[in-house]
Structure 1
Amino acid sequence: MSKIISVIGVIVFLLLSWLLVDTYVTAREPLIEEQTVAEERLLNAHSFAGITERQTYYGETTVHVFKGMLDGESHIAWVPASSEEDILVKQTADGVDKKTIIDTLKADGKPEKILDIRLGLRNQQPVWRAVYIAEDQRQYYEYYSFQDGTFLESISLKRS
């Protein structure tokens, strides 16, 4: 009797695991498809090669951000999800890196826990968005200029 219960338990576990994996894969399909379309659009517009990193930024507009090589130098491309909007390409060296933003946050003594730092577009300008939880237990969204790392704006939300 215990063997039957064990076999049923294993079968139920496997079915639930399969269901969870299938749900996850199905949920990610639209994002992967959007990124693929954005990547193809980038490659058709520029001779971008060796894409090393891709992220999606959800802000005022959805933007897919790609890091890779263009003309032998490291570049970053911001590809809006809307095909009517222009692709923005900048040399990586023309802006500050993620570590600079982390150092800025830590120097100001703000974050208790950094949740996310990613590139995006705000008012059609490249920005770094930092999301963190401060000591006051509020969640902050701070925007910094990609070009020089200057602080642009902060939005805070009360965590419940």
Structure 2
Amino acid sequence: SPREEAIDARLKAISLQLRAQEASGSDASPGATGSTNQPAASSQTISSADKLKVTLPSDVLFEENSSTIRPDAGLILDKIVADLRNTPKSTIRIAVHTEVAAKAQENRKLSFSRAKAVEQYLASALDDQYRWLVIGYGETRPLVLNDTDANGRRNRRVEIAVD
């Protein structure tokens, strides 16, 4: 659909901006170090019957093992805010997933903290007519077998959906 294509185009443009910032070394967060093994920001957007679902790699929004949103992640979240404004009085579901690791309980706590951080960011930009469903799945719902670093990155994700 045209709406889905527009969202994909905007997310790709943001991804290019973030990669350009990393390449130029102009990281907005003080004391942060650039990582050359950072995955490219990829996303998946599904839109049907005026519903919206965006899936983002956690690595784009958060530092490793942190629930603090990266300063440059605001560019991505602000684009999502713009789309969410088209769905007033909706329930917005924020689900965060981690990769399989030895410490399942810590992963659940981290994923819930990350989901709350995304909720707080989005809620601060939107008015109070939205309802929020915040879920930290931890490692309980992997997309793929967690047998390679690439698959681990695929499993670390943030899903934002209008229900």
TM-score, structure 1 normalization: 0.28
Q: Relative contact order (C-alpha < 8 Å, sep 6+): which is higher? A: 2
Which structure is higher in strand share?
A: 1
TM-score, structure 2 normalization: 0.28
Which structure is higher in helix share?
A: 2
